[in-house]
Amino acid sequence: MADALSTCLLDGALLPTSSARISPFDRGFLFGDGIYEVVPCYGGRPFRLPAHFDRLEAGLDALGIHNPYPRARWAELIQALITANGGGDMGLYLEITRGTEQGRDFLPQPGMNPTIFGFCWRLEVARPEQLERGISVVTLEDIRWLRCDIKSIALLAPVMLRMEAKRRGADEAILVRQGRLAEGSSSAVFVVNDGRIATAPASNERLPSITRLVVGEVIVALGLPLEVREIHHDEIYTSDEIWIASATREVMPVTLLDGRALGTGKPGPIWRRVFDEYQAFKKREAA
């Protein structure tokens, strides 16, 4: 990931990233008590912002954290942050914690003022040789909690899982819970078998990925079939293609699964069509 750009957002104000400070008594720091969003921005515009607002609001509601701004104000702050950092293609991170107390009590005080932090970084588009090569994944048992639908800042399990994937030489971990495919450690997953594309349904075991939604729209626009259903662990080994999807990695083909070539060992033809159409969607919406 590229470094943070020079201007960040803290509690409603833009300031130099290097001078941003928050209290160590922030409940985000002490308890991981907060949520975050990652919004890809193309041509200086946030992509699919309403869907990110839907997820952000659902997360705040689930945690009982006060949402300090209406959508219009959020949109203004986000645009100001993008513009202050020179626009173009970037990733934008937003974090909202329950706020700061004077001590440390599991039970939060009522009426706390949330802390809001935002920063951006330059998006690195996947190089053609990376797309030619695809990515390597390993399957791991899902050790996360049972509210994976909340985009919680408490990310210790995904950090451990990603470290384990790296230790095994892979770029991402595909997580399995009770024999079913959950999702990637930080991505949604699609599998293709005999031309039929499948992705697992929304549930408390998965983050409602915005990229998954967009990829779903792309699939429909291409007139391809999409099944939304549970995917058995065994099924992924016999898949012709697997893709991972996330805001900053878009849709990437898996070519190596648990150390063995998947399908032909090359990015699949259906992935290529979906990837190309995804790029067209981005361009159209940024224009």
Binding region for ligand PLP (CB under 6 A)? 38, 183, 186-188, 207, 209-212, 245-247
Residue 137 CB burial class (10 angstroms; 0-12, 13-18, ≥19): buried
Residue 94, strand partner residues: 37, 118
For residue 261, the surrounding DSSP H or E stretch is: strand 260-261
Are the C-beta atoms of residues 227 and 258 closer than 8 Å to each other?
no
Is the CB of 15 or the CB of 157 nearer to ligand PLP? 157
Radius of gyration of the chain (CA): 19
Minimum distance from residue 210 beta carbon to ligand PLP (Å):
4
Is the CB of 101 or the CB of 217 nearer to ligand PLP? 217
Is the CB of 27 or the CB of 206 nearer to ligand PLP? 206
Minimum distance from residue 102 beta carbon to ligand PLP (Å):
32
Residues 6+ apart with CB under 8 A from 124: 2
Minimum distance from residue 218 beta carbon to ligand PLP (Å):
13
| CA angle centred on 204, ends 202 and 207, rounded to 5° | 60
Is the CB of 62 or the CB of 84 nearer to ligand PLP? 62
Where do we find the tokens 């998006």? 123
Minimum distance from residue 60 beta carbon to ligand PLP (Å):
16
Minimum distance from residue 69 beta carbon to ligand PLP (Å):
20
Q: What is the three-state SS of 187-232?
A: EEEEEEECCEEEECCCCCCCCCCHHHHHHHHHHHHCCCCEEECCCE
Annotated active-site residue 151? The verdict is yes
- Pick the catalytic residue: 151, 166, 266, 283? 151
Is the CB of 33 or the CB of 183 nearer to ligand PLP? 183
List C-alpha distances in Å: 154 to 9, 13, 22, 33: 21, 25, 17, 7
Is the CB of 100 or the CB of 148 nearer to ligand PLP? 148
Minimum distance from residue 188 beta carbon to ligand PLP (Å):
5
| Dihedral sign, Cα of residue 8, residue 13, residue 14, residue 17 | negative
From the CB of residue 79, how many other CB atoms can be counted at a distance below 10 Å?
Answer: 16
Residues 6+ apart with CB under 8 A from 99: 26, 27, 112, 113, 114, 115
Are the C-beta atoms of residues 272 and 251 closer than 8 Å to each other?
no
Active-site annotation, residues: 151
